[in-house]
Structure formats: structure tokens, C-alpha cells
A and B are shown apart, each in its own frame.
Chain A
Amino acid sequence: MNLMDKYQIVIGLEVHAQLQTNSKLFCGDSIAFGAEPNTHVSPVTLAHPGTLPKTNKKAVEYAVRLGIACNCEIVRYNYFARKNYFYPDLPKGYQISQHTTPICKGGYVTIQSTEGEKQIILNRIHMEEDAGKSIHDADDFYTCIDLNRAGTPLVEIVTEPCIHSSEDAFQYITELRKLVQWLGVCDGNMEEGSLRCDANVSVRLKRETTLGTKVEVKNLNSIRNVKKAIDYEAERIIGLLEKGEPVIQQTRSFNADNDTTFSMRDKEDANDYRYFADPDLAPFNLTEEYIQNIKEALPALPAELKHTFTTELGLSEYDAANICEDKSSADYFHSVAAINKHYKAIANWMLGPIKQYLNEHQIGYADFTLLPKTFSSLVNLVQEGKVNFSVASQKLLPELMKHNQDPATLAESLNLLQVSNVNELEKWVDEVIANMPDKVAEYKKGKKGLIGLFVGEVKKVSKGQADPKMVTELLQKKLS
């Protein structure tokens, strides 16, 4: 019996997303990444006596925005609690968190799995502050502490233990990452730690209803590593179960060098965090109107846009999905489609030559300088047969990126306009026919498929300027 038929893997994911505010959750220090250590710190961050925290309005708004987009229930009466524990990078000796009373309850994220659309059910989204950073290898005798990150606003997005394959986990993080970026609440950068994932993994027999002993895997700094760590853990636990050995509840760390995990600590005692409401922070209430305003200002979500693009503009599923891969791309498409009805052609351009251009220059649509209006004219130029597509994408586009002028004028000055003057075309056609007597003879004997070869040759000698449709007609006439 296949082991995968015998056991079921149960996965719950906890994602920490750094909110894209300017300042920290409870004080005015910048949260910008990469600053000199211990320069984004204030007496509040350093937990000096007598300092008082004050909640960042924007962070609350971002949490609500994400909650609405994830179909959560938004909680009206909120307060922050203290989670008490000692660690050197936690200056106050407690973390301010909503752990016990999350701002968003329930909800779900829709993913595309191999079995079609699936909803990953959320338990909650709560707000909390980040800890500082401990650097263990900079000094032989001491651990160095950088408190720049301490107090950075986070939301923790927690799923129910409802994911049963590493592939679905991969899709979920991919979707979630896209969503937070789309909403502008988090930059989604996993390498810089703006988006971090912990995976809770357990295994049980297929018919079993209670959960098996779980392990928590930390330090998953890429989506691929989330998948690898789950695969490794599932196999390790099934191995233990098959040998009849106990599974120990542990916190494990992923080692990206060899795709394995190792134990960081056993969870012997249940942690005792002694949560209680932070007396320094006033509770905050959200009104119906406040929530409604955020809801109305929400941008159209990827799934919605994809649907519009396929049903109303006639794009294929594939094209629509790719256009909606990120918000700036969808926005760009949207602004061009507003002034140009050649939707399919716009998509082809965006997913072909323009994507290639962006990749080559390692930029996104946010830094793409071609105006939608200019781009629209470029699309029209090809649609109207004035410039051939490959010439337009290979020669005209790069020039346009340098000059950003009217594509038709530029094409003319660069001599890229397609020639449909019969006299000129005839010269090229005659030249090709004269150069290929053998092929011409074969064609005349009935090998009509050779027409493509002749057209290609004319294209070559004309340096792409010959109108292929007219060339085909001319060739057929001359060779008949």
C-alpha cells in the first residue's frame, strides 16, 4: 500500500507580514529596511521607563484592508495585550500583540490547486509588533542586538489546519504574497523578511479525526523552501510512524543548504505568556462607516479583474492570469484597454516583447516609462499592417523606450514602415524567384507548401519591410 494513501498530511501556516507603513506600530521610528543598526530607535522602542506607546492609525487601516480582502469578519472592539517572555531582542520583556483578540476573524484565501479552485480557511489575522534582531556570529563572546526592527507593525495571518499537500501550501503563500502586494499593505519581500512563514506539520492515518503530534518549522525564507520543508517533515514523520517511534512536539529550523530540518527546541512545558490587556494602550473601536470606507476604497482584486478580462474583454484564461500576476501589470493593461479595443493584441504585446524588455532591464511596470497612449499607437501600427510585429517589437520598441515619441513618426524616420507599394514589392519578389530556380520548379510541380519559404525570403531581403500579405498574393500570381 502506498504510504501516501495510508496517511494524511495536515498543514497549518502562520505568515507574518510586515505592514508597509512609514513608522512603527507604537512610535515614530522609521521601519525602512537596511538602515545602520540601532539608528531607528526611540525611547519607546528601547523601553525606557515612563515612555508610552501610541497606536499607528495606518497600521490598523492596513490590517482591516487585508481582512476585508480575505473575507474575514472585522472585529469592532479591539485592544492590545502583552505577551510576556524574556529574550534579549525584546526590550520591554513583553511583545504587544493581539493574540487573544484578533482584529480579523475567520475568512479564506482562494487558491488554484491541481484539483481546481480551493478555499484555504483562515483562523484569524492579528496585529503585533516585531522583535529586534539578534546577531550571533558578529562577536566571539557576545550576541549583538540591533533594535531597528523592534516595534515594526506586523500582521500574523493564521490558517486552520486545513492544508493537505505541500503544493497547496505553495499556492497559498503565492496567492497571499500576491494579495498583500496588490493591496499595498506589505511589499512581500521574503528575502528581507517582510513576509515570513512558519509551517505546522502533522501526519495522521487517513480515517483518523484527531490531529497527530505537530512540529513547527521556522526560518522559511522563500516559498520554495516552505514546500521543501513540508515535504521533508512529512516524510520524516511518516518514517517515524512506520517504525512505531514517537513523534516529538518540536520547533524545527529549515536548513536551506541541504533541504532538511533540525530540532531547535522540544516543547516540554506549554509556554506561559501570561497575556493581559496592555494598560498603556487605549482600546480602539471600529465603526461600520470606517469599515465601509475601507471596503469601498479597496482596489479590484486579481480574481475579479481576471474574470472581467476573460468575460468582457475576451482574453484567454492564461493571458488574463498572467496580466493579473501583479497589480501594476493589471493597471497598465487596464489603462491601455480603456483607449484601445485590440485587447488580445495588447495582451500579446505585454506578455511578449514588453515582458521581455522588463525582464532584461529588471524593472516592473511601476518603472516602465512608455505611456499607455504611446503604447496604444504602437499596437495600432501593427494592427493596421503598417509595421510588422517582429520589426515593431525588435526595432521600434527599443527606440521608443529611448525617445518616447509618436510610434508612427519614429517608424517612418527609422524606415521601418511596411512597404505595400507594388513596384517595390515586385523588385524583391522577382529577386527571390530568380535566386531560387529549383524551389520554383518544385512549387510549379505542385509543392504549394513552399510559398511560406518564398515569403520568408522576401521578408529577409526586404529587411522585414515587405507586407507579407501582399507579398503572398504577388508570389501566387507570378508563380501560377
Chain B
Amino acid sequence: MEVTEQMIQHLANLSRLSFSDEETKAFKNDLQGMIAFVEKLQEVDTTGIQPLQHMGDAVNVLREDEIQGSINRTEALKNSPIKDDTFFKVPKVIKK
């Protein structure tokens, strides 16, 4: 698969990152290399093999519907860079 600068921009956009032209080129080359490496796997014949969704064998790991484990608000807000006594705060999300 050929990695294009457009793809890098798309990925950057999805990740809320922005790259300079130089960085975009560097990422393009790096990613191209990685994909080429992984593409080696496509040589394996997987006809008739179900995709592996989960690494473990565990199924039906469920919990009872019980209230437990909440922390208090002071603790909850502790690591937030912007906050008041009640809320997490983030730069204004433009509405409308």
C-alpha cells in the first residue's frame, strides 16, 4: 500500500495533531516503511480462517449490577489542568 501525504494529514486530523510539511514527509516515509514490514504477513494464506478478535479465551466476564468504586469529586478533578470545584474545564467548544 502506498502512503500519501494526504493520508498523513487525515491521520493527523483524526488524532488532533498538526504537522509541518517536513514532519509530514518524515511520517510518510516512516509509515511507509512500517506498512511494508507488516505487509509481509499478507503472504500467509488465511483462507477459511476466522479473524482473531480477542487475544484471550475469556468469554462472559460480566459483573453484577451493583454500585461501587466511585471516587469523590476532589479526587476526580485532581489531575485536571483546568477546573473549578465542580467541573472539568476545556477550551470553549463552539456551538452553532
How big is the B interface, by class?
35 or more
Interface residues as binary, B64-93 with A (CB distance below 8 Å gives 1, 0 otherwise): 111111111100110000100011111111
Q: Does A183 contact B (CB under 8 A)?
A: no
Chain B residues in 8 Å Cβ range of A46: 76
One digit per residue, 1 when the CB lies within 8 angstroms of any chain B CB and 0 when it does not, for chain A 283-297 equals: 111000000000000
Chain A residues in 8 Å Cβ range of B92: 136, 141-143
- If over half of B's interface residues share one DSSP class (helix, strand or loop), that class is named, otherwise mixed; here it is loop
Query: A41 an interface residue at 8 Å Cβ cutoff?
Result: yes
The total of chain A residues at the interface (CB under 8 A) is: 52
Q: How far is the CB of B43 from chain A (nearest CB, A)?
A: 23
Inter-chain contacts of A27 with B (CB < 8 A): 69
Q: Judge whether B65 and A135 touch: CB under 8 Å.
A: no
User: How many residue pairs, one in A and one in B, have C-beta atoms under 8 Å apart?
Assistant: 127
Identify B88's interface contact among A55, A136, A145, CB under 8 A: A145
* Chain B 35-68 interface 0/1 with A at a Cβ cutoff of 8 Å (1 = within): 0000000000000000001111011111111111
Q: In the bound complex, do residue A30 and residue B67 qualify as a contact, i.e. CB atoms below 8 Å apart?
A: yes
| In the complex with contacts A28-B66, A29-B67, A283-B53 CB distance below 8 A | yes
Bound: A59/B66 CA distance, A: 12
In the complex, whether A477 has a CB less than 8 A from a CB of chain B is no
For the complex formed, measure the closest distance between the CB of A280 and the CB atoms of chain B, giving whole angstroms: 10
Contact code string A134-160 (vs B, CB < 8 Å = 1, else 0): 111011011111110000000000000
A21 sits at the interface (CB 8 A): yes
Say yes or no: A144 contacts B87, CB within 8 Å.
yes
Q: B65 contacts A58, CB within 8 Å? A: yes
Q: What's the minimum C-beta distance from A289 to chain B, rounded to whole angstroms?
A: 13
Q: In the complex, A299 Cα to B91 Cα: how many Å?
A: 49
Set of chain A residues within 8 Å of B93, measured between Cβ atoms: 87-88, 134, 136, 143
Q: How far is the CA of A146 from the CA of B86 in the complex (A)?
A: 8
- Which of A40, A55, A138 is the one whose CB lies under 8 Å from B61? A55
Distance between A267 CB and nearest chain B CB, rounded to angstroms = 16
Contacts of A30 in B (CB 8 A): 67, 70
A60 CA to B56 CA in the complex, in Å?
21
| Choice from A37, A41, A59, A277 contacting B86 with Cβ under 8 Å | A37
Taking a contact as CB atoms under 8 Å apart, the answer to whether B65 and A282 are in contact is no
Q: Which of B59, B70, B73, B89 contacts A283 (CB 8 A)?
A: B59
B14 contacts chain A at the CB level, 8 A cutoff: yes
Judging by beta carbons under 8 Å apart, are B63 and A55 in contact?
yes
Is A39 a contact partner of B59 (Cβ separation < 8 A)?
A: no
Query: Which residues on A sit within 8 Å (CB–CB) of B56?
Result: 282
CA distance A134 to B88 in the complex (A): 10
Residues of B within 8 A of A21 (CB): 65
Q: Residues of B contacting A146 with CB < 8 Å?
A: 87
Pair A56/B65 contact, Cβ less than 8 Å: yes
8 A-B contacts (beta carbon < 8 Å): A22-B65, A38-B86, A41-B70, A42-B69, A87-B93, A134-B93, A142-B92, A274-B14
5 further A-B contacts with Cβ under 8 Å, apart from A144-B89, A274-B14, A279-B54, are A28-B70, A38-B87, A141-B92, A142-B92, A285-B60
Q: Which 8 A-B pairs have the closest CB atoms?
A: A58-B65, A144-B87, A142-B89, A28-B68, A145-B88, A282-B61, A28-B69, A282-B58
